[in-house]
Structure 1
């Protein structure tokens, strides 16, 4: 797939992997819709891109604002070709010391809000009969990582939603891609929540020494261009862990075959 002239909409686009994806897509000729909470930072990113851009700031937890942004995004240019569910927040705290509200907050941002945004856009994409949905999960969405119980729960859940959705859409012309980054040199650790819900405020060495965001974005888009359904972006031990838990392509094909054979119609007929 060539990205030339396509429109990609990225949530969490003001920094980190989201910003890097915007820069990489712009270099490949795509138009960009950038979303996040901070309008000023989104505008700063947009001003650095040598392509046509639109900024749609909103908090992913505000469903009314998200619905309004979806309506605007689908009216811009020829509509949304690619959607990236990227907004998220991490965690650094033992489960025994973590308030239940932290679980609710992280799952709301990293899972529920991403599902809501995708659901709002699905009618547009299915009516067009083509498109790509990218879900930014994590190696922590494949492997249970200590000090990240809420984050792991949300990211595992995002993969489950994406995999089930991929099967449902397998006859629609819409591709679903799950991206599992390992340590990428962003502010994810610094912005992570601690057990009482406060911001951690400091980074990890493994994150600081991680894959540069620009390199991660290039790996992701190269894999999307090659139509890889599950994309692991990690090095060393993290890559090995992700590969051990990689879902085989044969399983994706089996689920798609069930849908092609009328599985969903049979289930609905029994209701």
Structure 2
């Protein structure tokens, strides 16, 4: 798959993986739509992209704003070819000490809002019978990691939604890809929520020494171009953990075959 001439929309595009993907897509000839809460920072990222861009700032939890942004994204450049569900926040706190509101906030941002944005865009992609959906999960969406119970719940859930959606769309020409990053050198740990919901405010050595975001973005987009459905971007122990929990391609194919053989139509008829 070539990205040249396509239009891609990225949430959480003001920094980190989102910003790196936006820049790399521009290098590969795609027009890019950038969304996030920080309008000024989105404008800075847009200024670093080699191709045409549009910024659509909004909070992913504001569904009315998200729906309005979806209409603008579709109208801007003749349609959206690819969507990256990337917006998210991590966690660093023991479950026994964590306020329940932290769970609600992380699941709302990392899971529910990403599903809502995807659902809003699906009719457009289905009508075109083409497109790509990228879901940024985490190695913590494969393996339960201490101090991240809310984050793991959200990222496991995002992967489950994406895997089921992939099967449903397997006859419609829409690719669904789940990316499982390990430690990437971003502000993810610094911005992570503590037990009371406040930002942690400091990073981890493992994050600071992680994969450079631009390198990670190249790896991700290369894998998507090869139509890989499950993409692990990690090193060392994190890569080994992810590979141990990798879903066999044969299983993805088996579930897609159920759809091809009329599974959904039979379920609807029985209902």
Moved over 3 A (4+): none
Aligned to 1:52: 52
Aligned to 1:252: 252
Query: Map of 1:22-61 to 2, 5 A cutoff?
Result: 22-61=22-61
1:198, 1:240 → 2: CA distance? 32
Deviation by residue 1:225-266 (Cα, 9 ceiling, x = unmatched): 100000000000000000000011000000110000000000
2:57, 2:251 → 1: CA distance? 38
Secondary structure of 2:191's counterpart equals: coil
Aligned to 1:135: 135
- Quote the RMSD (CA, aligned, Å): 0.3
**Shift, 1:48, TM fit:** 1.0
TM-score scaled by structure 2?
A: 1.00
**Shift, 1:76, TM fit:** 1.0
1:112, 1:77 → 2: CA distance? 27
2:235, 2:78 → 1: CA distance? 38
Aligned to 1:171: 171
TM-score scaled by structure 1?
A: 1.00
1:215, 1:21 → 2: CA distance? 10
| Residue 231 of structure 2 is aligned to residue 231 of structure 1 | yes
2:25, 2:120 → 1: CA distance? 23
**Shift, 1:50, TM fit:** 1.1
Aligned to 2:263: 263
Aligned to 2:106: 106
Aligned to 2:185: 185
Gaps of 5+ in 2: none
**Shift, 1:77, TM fit:** 1.0
Number of residue-to-residue matches in the alignment: 271
Gaps of 5+ in 1: none
Aligned to 1:217: 217
